A and B are shown apart, each in its own frame.
Chain A
């Protein structure tokens, strides 16, 4: 069974600084998708970024980028120029076929 591990239950960063959230996963498949979701206090799940495993190029979305290391089964999220609105729970997720498997989450605090 696929598993996703986020080893950092909590992280904090100063406003305008850069922070990296870690995620590792376990799979024997070669074709899959990876995602980072953000959950602010409103509880809404918001897609931040996605990565297709067959693509070597790391995905980027404005201030958000990933470091995808397929051989190491690692998928970290880098947030540049952190803003107060980035404060949230962040979930890493793996998709193969119909199912999306989530990590335990990392709570990110932004210090003004």
Chain B
């Protein structure tokens, strides 16, 4: 199994509070991703990173920011959580160092509830 650890695995918070989810990999892969999963929508890309300090937006990036100061860590931050951000969040890494090929390996997911 790919070495991907997400923390926390479960979190309940209140509207307006900041939240940070952490993804840690031990595979030394260049590409890392944050997705959210909601019923009827599958998984949607929030942000991704193609190297240390190199990140880009996905299709649902509003309200989220990311940072990658080390190869192994990719942080997802909700500056001011809203109820619409209640979801399951998945981190993923690319199985290939090539930009164009390969499947993604996923972490176990983090369930976030915003009250």
Contact = CB atoms under 8 A, between A and B. Distances in A.
Q: Are A and B physically bound partners?
A: yes
A42 B50 CA distance: 29
Contacts, number: 55
Interface in A1-48: 1, 4, 6, 9, 31, 33, 35, 43-45, 47
B84 interface: no
A47 B44 contact: no
Interface residues of A, number: 24
Contact of B43 (A1, A44, A97, A102): A102
Nearest to A50: B103
B46 to A, nearest CB: 12
A100 B104 contact: yes
Interface of A: 1, 4, 6, 9, 31, 33, 35, 43-45, 47, 50, 91, 95-105
